[in-house]
């Protein structure tokens, strides 16, 4: 049986990656070019690119980094090197955010 802590870590990391995917899809869909755009299509595209995409990506990054850090701190039955690897992954994710925030938040 899976412990609650392990299940929380799996759900947080999985949901974080899924929300990153959804946010990137929203931003990509917002860059759709119409032949004769109406005002409503232009406003919807601007909302997808400027509001919904970054919101989902920020929540996804929070869940991903938080799940990795919670897993490294809370799963004490794991091997030391697995916990260290989770800390390194969280650190690299934070460095990617700090090095190029325009990649995640256009």
pLDDT tens-digit map of 89-106 = 999 999 988 888 877 666
pLDDT at 73 over 70: yes
**How is the chain split into domains, by residue range?**
4-104
pLDDT, residue 106, reads 64
* 8 confidence band (pLDDT: 50, 70, 90): very high
Average pLDDT over residues 61-87: 93
Token pair in block for residue 84: 């260290």
What is the pTM (predicted TM-score) of this model?
Answer: 0.85
Q: Cα–Cα distances in Å, from 12 out to 15, 31, 62, 95?
A: 5, 29, 9, 20
């Amino acid at each position: 049986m899976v412990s609650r802590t392990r299940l929380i870590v799996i759900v947080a990391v999985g949901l974080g990656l899924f929300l990153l995917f959804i946010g990137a899809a929203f931003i990509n869909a917002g860059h759709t070019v119409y032949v004769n755009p109406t005002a409503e299509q232009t406003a919807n595209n601007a909302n997808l690119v400027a509001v919904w995409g970054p919101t989902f990506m920020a929540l996804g990054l929070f869940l991903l980094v938080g799940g990795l850090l919670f897993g490294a701190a809370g799963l004490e039955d794991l091997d030391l090197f697995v916990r260290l690897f989770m800390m390194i992954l969280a650190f690299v994710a934070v460095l990617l955010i700090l090095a190029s925030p325009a990649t995640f938040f256009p």
